[in-house]
């Protein structure tokens, strides 16, 4: 394969972030766009330089001039669309989460292997320049043996052009029975993947407390987990601060990652947003000195574009897209559902035992008193 010809299925809110890397790659062409809303598909095709517009997936998949597809449809459709694309002989990049159940995810991975095709999951965190640097530093031994991984996520308010231009219809299915959970399923999968990818170790036990917040938010949430190595633990906190302004170019949210080791620690000081005026990656060394990596590009979009470019390179070189495989996406789903189950049952859960899905007890949420719930939240 000398060039990769991409067809994009779904033109929702997240699609432009994933397509950016394809447009930047010199050996990739976005040749087709598919959306049930023809005007949306045409507008995206005009913006991305695609010459073909489809309104149903079957027609796009029948196009022999398409080598691979980027699937940006709602999560409950991923299994159907991925399996159809693999049957049509297309390589697949699928938006996260991979599926609504672990079993569906396994079927998708098995189908890709049987067909000899690449299935990768679009996950920006494993290509974030900041988190890639953090993993390189861990592997270099600069902080000794890692002993604790802490992830903090806070969601607040913002007034970015990106958020103002989001299509509200792209969120309807996230708030009802079409999704097994809310914010912890839709957004925190980024963080669950990071927890697994950072150390290349399975997680064997999870404990958690998940509280209900307005709309699809599940906060405050606190979780701890045990890795295969007994001297390495992880913890995660998720908070919702609806009255706190978040400096950002994208969503009103930010993340912080801290890796403590026997000889020092690494701090990644930003994720989606730009809350803190600090170097994006800081290392505290065993002798008390610090290294500030101020030259790294902290733009959240970079993780998306780098991931798409990596997918293209993998296809050109005839190899798997190793950094975000279907297998890692399955483990991510298991960890997500283990957090829900641990909170529901108030006991430690082994995520590796989960094959279906788990939801919080109040799901889907009752939105009839949304504004009243907003006013009461935190009281």
Residues 304 and 20 sit within 8 Å (Cβ to Cβ):
yes
Range in 18-27, 164-173, 179-188, 247-256 the model is least confident about: 164-173
- pLDDT of amino acid 367: 87
Residue 194 has pLDDT above 90, yes or no: yes
Q: What is the CATH number of domain 4-122?
A: 3.40.50.720
- pLDDT of amino acid 286: 98
Distance between CA atoms of 204 and 260, rounded to whole angstroms?
20
Range in 80-84, 169-173, 373-377 the model is least confident about: 373-377
Tokens linked to 274: 């730009």
- pLDDT of amino acid 342: 99
Mean pLDDT of 59-84: 98
Q: Confidence class of residue 72 from pLDDT cuts 50, 70 and 90? A: very high
- pLDDT of amino acid 198: 98
Partners of 266 in beta bridges: 259, 283
Neighbour order of strands in the sheet with 233-245: 203-210, 221-227, 233-245, 146-157, 253-261, 265-268, 281-284, 290-293
- pLDDT of amino acid 373: 86
Q: What is the CATH number of domain 126-298+333-353?
A: 3.30.360.10
Residue 263 has pLDDT above 80, yes or no: yes
Distance between CA atoms of 33 and 69, rounded to whole angstroms?
10
Q: Confidence class of residue 182 from pLDDT cuts 50, 70 and 90? A: very high
CA 240, distance to chain mean position in Å, is: 19
Please name which of 33, 53, 122 lies closest in space to residue 306, comparing C-alpha atoms.
122
Domain locations in the chain? 4-122, 126-298+333-353
Residue 124 has pLDDT above 90, yes or no: yes
- For 314-349, the pLDDT digits (tens) are 999 998 876 789 999 999 999 999 999 999 999 999
Of 68 and 371, more confident: 68
Mean pLDDT of 358-374: 91
Tokens linked to 63: 């196009």
Q: What is the mean pLDDT of the chain?
A: 96
Q: Confidence class of residue 254 from pLDDT cuts 50, 70 and 90? A: very high
Mean pLDDT of 146-156: 98
Please name which of 232, 246, 234, 239 lies closest in space to residue 275, comparing C-alpha atoms.
246
Residues of the chain above pLDDT 90, percent? 93
Distance between CA atoms of 217 and 369, rounded to whole angstroms?
14
């Amino acid at each position: 394969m000398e060039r990769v010809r991409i067809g994009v299925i779904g033109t929702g809110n997240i699609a432009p972030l994933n397509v950016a890397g394809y447009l930047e790659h010199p050996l990739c062409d976005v040749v087709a766009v598919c959306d049930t809303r023809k005007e949306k598909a045409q507008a995206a095709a005009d913006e991305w330089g695609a010459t073909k517009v489809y309104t149903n997936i079957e027609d796009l998949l029948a196009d022999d001039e398409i080598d691979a597809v980027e699937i940006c449809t709602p999560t409950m459709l991923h299994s159907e669309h991925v399996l159809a694309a693999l049957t049509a002989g297309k390589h697949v990049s699928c938006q996260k989460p991979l599926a609504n159940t672990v079993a569906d995810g396994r079927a998708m991975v098995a189908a890709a292997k049987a067909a000899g095709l690449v299935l990768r999951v679009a996950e920006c965190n494993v290509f974030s320049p900041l988190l890639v640097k953090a993993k390189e530093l861990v592997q270099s031994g600069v902080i000794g043996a890692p002993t604790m991984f802490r992830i903090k996520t806070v969601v607040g308010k913002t007034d970015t052009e990106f958020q103002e231009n989001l299509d509200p219809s792209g969120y309807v299915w996230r708030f009802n029975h079409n999704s097994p959970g809310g914010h912890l399923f839709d957004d925190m999968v980024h963080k669950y993947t990071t927890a697994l990818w950072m150390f290349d170790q399975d997680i064997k036990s999870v404990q958690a407390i998940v509280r209900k917040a307005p709309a699809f938010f599940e906060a405050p949430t606190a979780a701890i987990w045990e890795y295969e190595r007994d001297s390495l633990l992880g913890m995660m906190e998720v908070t919702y601060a609806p009255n706190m302004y978040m400096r950002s170019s994208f969503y009103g949210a930010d993340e912080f990652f801290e890796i403590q080791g026997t000889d020092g620690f690494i701090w990644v000081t930003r994720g989606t947003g730009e809350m803190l005026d600090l170097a994006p990656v800081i290392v505290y060394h065993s002798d008390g000195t610090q290294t500030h990596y101020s030259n790294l590009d902290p733009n959240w979009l970079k993780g998306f574009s780098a991931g798409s470019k990596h997918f293209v390179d993998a296809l050109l070189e005839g190899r798997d897209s190793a950094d975000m495989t279907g297998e890692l996406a399955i483990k991510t789903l298991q960890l997500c559902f283990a957090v829900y189950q641990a909170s529901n049952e108030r006991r430690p859960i082994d995520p590796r035992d989960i094959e279906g899905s788990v939801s919080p007890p109040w799901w889907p949420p009752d939105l009839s008193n949304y504004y009243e719930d907003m006013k009461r939240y935190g009281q």
